[in-house]
Amino acid sequence: MGKCRRNTGPLLIILAGVFWGSMGFFVRKLSSYGFSSVQIVTIRVTLAALLFSALLLIRNRPGFRISLRDLPLFLGLGFGSILFFTVCYFTAITMMPLSAAAILLYTSPIWIMLMSVLFLHEKLNSKKILALALAFAGCVLVSGISGDGIPLTGLLVGLGSGVGYGLYSILGTVALRRYSPYTVTAYTFLFAGAGSWLLCSPADMIRKFTAAPDLFSLLLLCGLTALVTAFVPFLCYTLGLRTVEASRAGILATIEPMVAAVIGILVFSEPLTVLSGLGICLIIAAVVLLNRKSKNKKDAPEAPVPLPSRSEDTYQTVSGGKQPGEE
């Protein structure tokens, strides 16, 4: 069972990146209804919160119990990561070319690697560093290089999206030592969804729903947006984090811009340049490199921090084996 989980972990991370790569398609569709970027974020995370809560209710109802001491952890996941990075990313898109915003978002593996070394005591090795360089170079080439100047505020917001995006891997790894993936994702999105309603101008958003010419089609689109760009990928990514190091997961997930580029070519007839093609090859190379077994023990990736022994649906905190909520 453990070996199977370890083998499927990278595949789950890559699958999450593939689903995230479709985000641009859904955002463009919802934008055509007049929703602002923050309102699209609210739709996405709120419906995802309902889906994750339903899954937790079916899968492990006692998983709704969490310790009060862990509230800051889930606040960090919901507000500091999911909500913060998404709002920063969509804001950056309005302040600079999409290519520049994408480059800044995909500085996330750098932040993940740095935070992993500082807080999770992971070790760097030559394979990780080379894969990181290949992945970031690939993201730059796939996104395109713009010569337009970027304002300082835009630069900081764009970098903030990368930091927030990377923070999920760090905080998620810590949370998974204490709770099941279903509890982690449910509470993360419940907090993110609650916070998003403070920013979205609810009255205006409700007016846009009531004014929609085909409400059923809009509701279906909203449901698919939450399912495809949030529920499925974040569940896959969180499950993958159980056996994949945070720094390695961050690099594997950079397959997302490659998928976004392919969707742009096939769906929106965007041109494929030589540089974009080269970038796609570099990202694939980084993913393949990370999944090759190292013959040199010194360069072999460190194993992720082992999680406590537990059954599939019964998770205990690492401190004294207490159940969540017990003091």
* The pLDDT value given to residue 99: 59
Q: Which two tokens stand for residue 141?
A: 């080439």
Among 87, 131, 139, CA closest to 259: 139
Do 162 and 299 meet the contact criterion of CB atoms below 8 Å apart? no
* The pLDDT value given to residue 5: 55
State CA 61 to chain mean position distance: 25
* The pLDDT value given to residue 129: 86
List per-residue pLDDT tens for the chain, 327 residues long: 455 555 788 999 999 988 988 887 888 889 889 998 899 999 999 999 999 999 999 988 999 999 999 999 999 999 989 999 888 887 777 777 665 677 777 777 778 888 888 887 778 788 878 888 887 787 777 666 544 556 778 778 888 888 898 898 889 888 989 999 999 999 999 999 999 999 899 999 999 999 999 999 999 999 999 999 999 999 999 889 888 887 788 788 878 777 776 777 777 776 667 877 787 788 778 877 876 665 554 444 444 433 333 333 434 433 334 444 443
Do 127 and 290 meet the contact criterion of CB atoms below 8 Å apart? yes
Q: What is the dihedral of CA 230, 235, 237, 242, to 10 degrees?
A: 160
* The pLDDT value given to residue 279: 76
* The pLDDT value given to residue 305: 39
* The pLDDT value given to residue 149: 54
User: Model's pTM, two decimal places?
Assistant: 0.74
